[in-house]
Structure 1
Amino acid sequence: MNGVLSGKTVLELGSMIAAPFATHILQQLGARVIKIEPPGGETTRKLVRGGPSGTYIAYNRGKDSMCLNLQSEAGARVFRDLVATADIVLHNLSPSAARKMKVTFDDCEAVRPGIVFCHIKGYGPGPQSEDIASNPIAEAATGVMYSNRSTGKPSRLGPSYHDQFAGCYAVIGVLSALLDPVAPPERRNIELGLYETGLHVAARELVGIQLKSQITGKAEQEPSPEFSMPGYGAYETSDDRWIYLVMLTDDHWRKFCIAAGLGFDPDLATLRQRRKNRPAVEQIVTRAVRDASYDSLAASLAVAGVGFTEVLSGDRVLDAEQARNPPKFTTVPFASFRFDAPDFPVSAAVNATNLQDPPPLLGEHTAALLRQSGYPEEEIAELLALGAVREADDGSDLWNMKSEQPVMAR
């Protein structure tokens, strides 16, 4: 089944996560994505032992790669030729780099009137619009990092959720522009900041702080439900596995007590009572879980209707029955390896025709794209000789492996 964006061409000038994640979704929805990279390739190609990282493999599969030196006159001309036949341009270059390489909305609109353009940047309009920001900076500036103190000091969450949220918002913006056949320039010129993304994602917490300030007169912040709901969180079973319990309501507590074989205690029947007796409640839950094996407790919790799951390490996640039946991922070959890469979760919207296509080598499609743009072989050879463009070198190693040199299997 073809995706809703089949027939659309996206030019991506992306690095790291936000822009490549956005175009990954557009590709899964059927668009053709041409990934335009500088001669050294984008950052995630060289993050793991000198080769591609999980980020590159997961979010760049199925794209075409054009290796292009935009700082050369010939490379800039090739880019303009690509823009002339594209539907969407999406990038996360810094504002100054975008102007220097003439990759702004005005530059692209002049070549292709009506184009949909999206720039994911550190900050949207405002006094910091020229500043550089990354995922952890967005976390720090929007309140997320302040409450995440696993080591006692504010620290980043780990996964780059703000980058990925920004990628999702970018897709929403692109689709909204495509839905309007007479979209004005201001709708087609999508400027999206990681900072503004972080504000929107943190809206619940920011409004909650305001609520408490107006009710109690104090700006109190509860970093997560675990800190306010006794019995909510991860607990260890007798066989040294971890189970995560969701204990939001009095009914959740009642069902847990039934599943764990605990007697009803009227002094702990309400959340207010349990909060007042937090240490006692935590001790009750910890002991009840520690006295049972994971499988036996899970069976009882499922019958009682308690929300729970096992806390899984990353190497076990895709072995779960829910992940495998039906498969929520596609097995993708790359170099001498195979990777199970999760797909866009709205399966009915996914273009299934090219799901197994691997991520491209740097410049793998350069010559083919130039031919499609009408460049004769002599001019392609000249561009390659000038260094304005680059083709993939199938003989180069992808990773610096001591024991094994990966063999290309493409």
Structure 2
Amino acid sequence: MCTDGGRVAPDLLPGTGEQPLSDVTVLELGHIIAGPFCSMLLADLGAEVIKVEHPERGDAVRDSSPVGNSSFNYVNRNKLGVSLDLKSEEGRTVFKDLVQQADVLVENFAAGTADRLGVGYDDLSAVNEELVYCSIKGFNPGPYEDFPALDPVAEALSGVMSVTGHADTPPVRSGTSLSDMAASLYGALTIVATIRQRDATGEGQYITVPLFESTVSLMGYWLAYTQAYDETPEPMGASHPGWAPYDVFRSADDEWVFIGPSSDRQWRRLCDALDSDLHKDNRFKTLSGRLENRAVLNDAVQSVCDNFDAEELVARLQEASVPVAPVNDTDDVSSDPHLEATNALSEVRATEGDGDRIQTPRFPARATGFDRVESADPPALGEDTDAVLTALGYDRDQIEHLRREDVV
């Protein structure tokens, strides 16, 4: 385990001893979303994260496309960038020197890849018996474990696609990497719990975190519903089978607004706020009546919304304490006044694109005992290799030798 405050290179990243994971060093063998998002969460809590990439290719999404570049810029903040060729014997030797100083390793290679490279759990626990090794995979060990997996595979298998979209359209995936991020969140939580256990026992552990089972966990109440009521939910758009009106409606200025009163009282408040007497209609007085007449009700509510532009519609319903929100696009979100007031976004360097700096979300939770880590730029490929190796005790000649051999 690390010395010097728990960090291999304590002066290269933001974060101090005030953060809860400031004495933890994490090695990341991650690409795309799942592994990098998991280690980013740990970095946000103060851990030193060293991202290890191949010297030529790097992360699979690095400089790959506008969407790939954007995902890389988001999930790789607050990390040190080290390049190593793990297929070379010298590269694995250097990596094991890093492992000796690490507390955690996160990887999301395809099943079996880490073992083939000689950096699987058995290989590395022999180097550091206190290592917490987290593998994020498509599936837990079982019938599916060797199947190739991507985020949409997990969304399809888990049932998420079956309830997303509309009944008259094909199933759709969510608009973000839901399964990757679900597994990452479970991975980070399990790592923190395992570190606590490791600190008590002195023994490392091997963690597996699956995209499929993690996404199934998000579908838990729909599984319970299906079994309890022998009914399979259908795609529901922005609506909900238990409430009405509960959907998106167009405003007079052609903007979408979500409106969702969840009680009779809120329904009456909605009608009063929008100068409507729909709540007096016998069909709509009770929730059961509104559900039975949902289609007619939605048309009636839409006619009322036709009288207001989005800003006034939202303002009136917020004033009446009725759940409501404009359907923001990402440009709206980046300039949202609440996010600005709560310092929810921070600027980092853009590796590609038109702007030098971009805004990305910060760690959203707050605690009274520590401050969030300030966001640092995602590393260029191998940006911190020399500094990290120097901190490990490699001298200039050794580093230059590794560079000549294309190891770093």
TM score, norm. by length of structure 1 = 0.88
Match of 1:168 among 185, 191, 195: 185
Match of 1:117 among 114, 118, 133: 133
- Distance in 1 between residues matched to 2:201 and 2:146, nearest whole Å: 26
Is the Cα contact below 8 Å between 1:174 and 1:188 reproduced in 2?
no
Q: Which residue of 2 aligns with 1:250?
A: 264
Is the Cα contact below 8 Å between 2:245 and 2:259 reproduced in 1?
yes
Q: Which residue of 2 aligns with 1:262?
A: 276
Please, what is the CA RMSD of the aligned residues? Answer: 2.0
- Distance in 1 between residues matched to 2:372 and 2:108, nearest whole Å: 27
- Distance in 2 between residues matched to 1:88 and 1:378, nearest whole Å: 29
- Distance in 2 between residues matched to 1:21 and 1:350, nearest whole Å: 21
Can you give the 5+ residue segments of structure 1 that lack an aligned partner in the other structure? 214-218, 390-410
Q: Which residue of 1 aligns with 2:233?
A: 221
TM score, norm. by length of structure 2 = 0.88
Q: Please state how far the C-alpha of 1:109 moved relative to its aligned partner.
A: 1.0
Q: Please state how far the C-alpha of 1:138 moved relative to its aligned partner.
A: 0.3
Q: Please state how far the C-alpha of 1:92 moved relative to its aligned partner.
A: 0.4
Q: Which residue of 1 aligns with 2:3?
A: none
Q: Please state how far the C-alpha of 1:148 moved relative to its aligned partner.
A: 2.7
Q: Which residue of 1 aligns with 2:208?
A: 191
Moved more, 220-229 or 234-243: 220-229
Q: Which residue of 2 aligns with 1:98?
A: 114
The aligned length equals: 381
- Distance in 2 between residues matched to 1:138 and 1:226, nearest whole Å: 23
Is the Cα contact below 8 Å between 1:344 and 1:350 reproduced in 2?
no
Q: Please state how far the C-alpha of 1:184 moved relative to its aligned partner.
A: 7.6
Moved more, 68-77 or 313-322: 313-322
Match of 1:300 among 305, 308, 316: 316
SS in 2 for 1:199: helix
Alignment pair present for 1:208 and 2:208? no
Q: Which residue of 2 aligns with 1:182?
A: 200
**How big is each residue's C-alpha offset from its partner over 1:32-51, in whole Å with a ceiling of 9 and x where there is no partner?**
100001131101212225x9
Give me the identity figure in percent.
31
Is the Cα contact below 8 Å between 1:135 and 1:162 reproduced in 2?
yes
Q: Which residue of 1 aligns with 2:62?
A: 45
Match of 2:336 among 320, 326, 333: 320
Q: Which residue of 2 aligns with 1:393?
A: none
Is the Cα contact below 8 Å between 1:177 and 1:183 reproduced in 2?
no
Moved more, 146-155 or 245-254: 146-155
Alignment pair present for 1:384 and 2:398? no
Q: Which residue of 1 aligns with 2:8?
A: none
Q: Please state how far the C-alpha of 1:309 moved relative to its aligned partner.
A: 0.8
**How big is each residue's C-alpha offset from its partner over 1:275-319, in whole Å with a ceiling of 9 and x where there is no partner?**
221221011110111111223222221221100011111111121
Q: Which residue of 2 aligns with 1:68?
A: 84
Relative distance call for 1:350 and 1:14 in structure 2 (3 A) is farther
- Distance in 1 between residues matched to 2:399 and 2:128, nearest whole Å: 23
Aligned AA for 1:268? F
- Distance in 1 between residues matched to 2:59 and 2:201, nearest whole Å: 32
- Distance in 2 between residues matched to 1:373 and 1:384, nearest whole Å: 16
- Distance in 1 between residues matched to 2:235 and 2:407, nearest whole Å: 50
- Distance in 2 between residues matched to 1:273 and 1:184, nearest whole Å: 61
